[in-house]
């Protein structure tokens, strides 16, 4: 059984649902080690104190918040635990909203909420209520020394918790495009192209081709095989927007007819 990174309760009105928080996603990035070019030895990342001029152990390190240049306030685990914040152990539902009302830019990380044995029935009750009403629950949770806004939503017989960024964590765009004029003909062709390519989202159709090809290349190098390279794109003359849309439509129509 997956290990919970947080344990507490969902507070749903007067109902308390004991749950554990479990990671719902995993990165598939390839991880590389740093090697010394001269001898091929793996480089070690070490913690060095320039004042004491020596390496330090993990148990010698503490957290410090810089309040002014080179002046720190030390914060320890007792400080985090003593914070009068209910979300340390309770996910208190404060409102219900429709999922589409939340701009995707706010979404951060997805987790599974797993009920304990005594919490299975109220957990199922919450899940069914969310499904029937077609809504998500808005709440807060404190995980890893940070209180985070979150959404609880039903998915395939499970309640997922999605952490959200706060509004002040979202950057303002640096480029504005409101003043760019769009021709009606261009818009109609773009709408036609969208209609041709529109279909239900199926995540199984999409693969990480970059990772697959990188693994093949690593395996080939390990076995001393012949390496192939991607063709270098040939620079072509820039075509106008209408011509690009027309060609895209023709290509999409041909693929749809053959598929």
The pLDDT assigned to 148 comes to 92
CA-closest candidate to residue 13, choices 125, 117, 89, 113:
125
In angstroms, the CA 89 to CA 141 distance is 8
First to last CA, the chain: 42
Nearest-10 Cα torsion for 200, 204, 206, 207: 180
Question: Where are the chain's structural domains?
Answer: 6-25+82-168, 184-258
Instruction: Give tens-digit pLDDT for 127-142.
Output: 999 999 999 999 999 8
Mean pLDDT over each residue of the chain, to the nearest integer: 87
Instruction: Give tens-digit pLDDT for 5-26.
Output: 899 999 987 889 999 999 998 8
Tokens 């009606």 label which residue?
A: 184
Q: Grade residue 168 by pLDDT with cuts at 50, 70 and 90.
A: very high
Write the class of the CATH domain 6-25+82-168.
mainly beta
DSSP run (H or E) holding 184: helix 184-197
**Residue 42 pairs with which residues in a beta bridge?**
35
- Region 80-106: mean pLDDT is 87
Instruction: Give tens-digit pLDDT for 217-259.
Output: 878 878 887 767 767 666 555 567 888 888 888 888 888 888 6
pTM of the shown model: 0.74
The pLDDT assigned to 35 comes to 92
In degrees, rounded to 5, the angle at the alpha carbon of residue 141 between the alpha carbons of residues 139 and 143 is 160
Instruction: Give tens-digit pLDDT for 57-71.
Output: 989 999 999 988 889
């Amino acid at each position: 059984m997956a290990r919970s990174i947080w344990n507490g309760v969902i507070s749903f009105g007067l109902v308390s649902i004991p749950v554990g928080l479990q990671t719902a996603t995993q990165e598939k990035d390839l991880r590389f080690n740093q090697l010394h070019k001269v001898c091929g030895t793996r480089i070690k990342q070490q913690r060095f104190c320039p004042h004491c001029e020596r390496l330090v152990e993990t148990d010698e390190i503490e957290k410090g918040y810089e309040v002014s240049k080179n002046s720190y306030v030390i914060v320890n685990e007792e400080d985090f635990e003593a914070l009068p914040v209910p979300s340390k152990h309770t996910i208190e539902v404060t409102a219900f909203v429709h999922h589409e009302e939340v701009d995707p830019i706010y979404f951060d990380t997805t987790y599974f909420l797993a009920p304990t044995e005594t919490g299975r029935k109220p957990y199922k009750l919450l899940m069914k209520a969310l499904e029937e009403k077609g809504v998500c629950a808005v709440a807060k949770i404190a995980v890893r020394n940070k209180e985070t806004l979150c959404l609880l939503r039903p998915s395939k017989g499970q309640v997922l918790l999605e952490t959200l960024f706060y509004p002040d964590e979202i950057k303002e765009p640096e480029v504005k495009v409101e003043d760019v004029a769009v021709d009606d003909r261009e818009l109609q062709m773009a709408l036609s192209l969208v209609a041709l390519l529109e279909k239900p989202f199926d995540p199984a159709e999409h693969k990480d081709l970059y990772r697959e090809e990188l693994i093949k290349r690593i395996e080939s190098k390990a076995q001393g095989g012949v390496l192939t390279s991607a063709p270098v794109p040939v620079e072509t003359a820039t075509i106008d927007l209408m011509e690009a849309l027309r060609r895209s439509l023709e290509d999409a129509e041909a693929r749809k007819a053959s598929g």
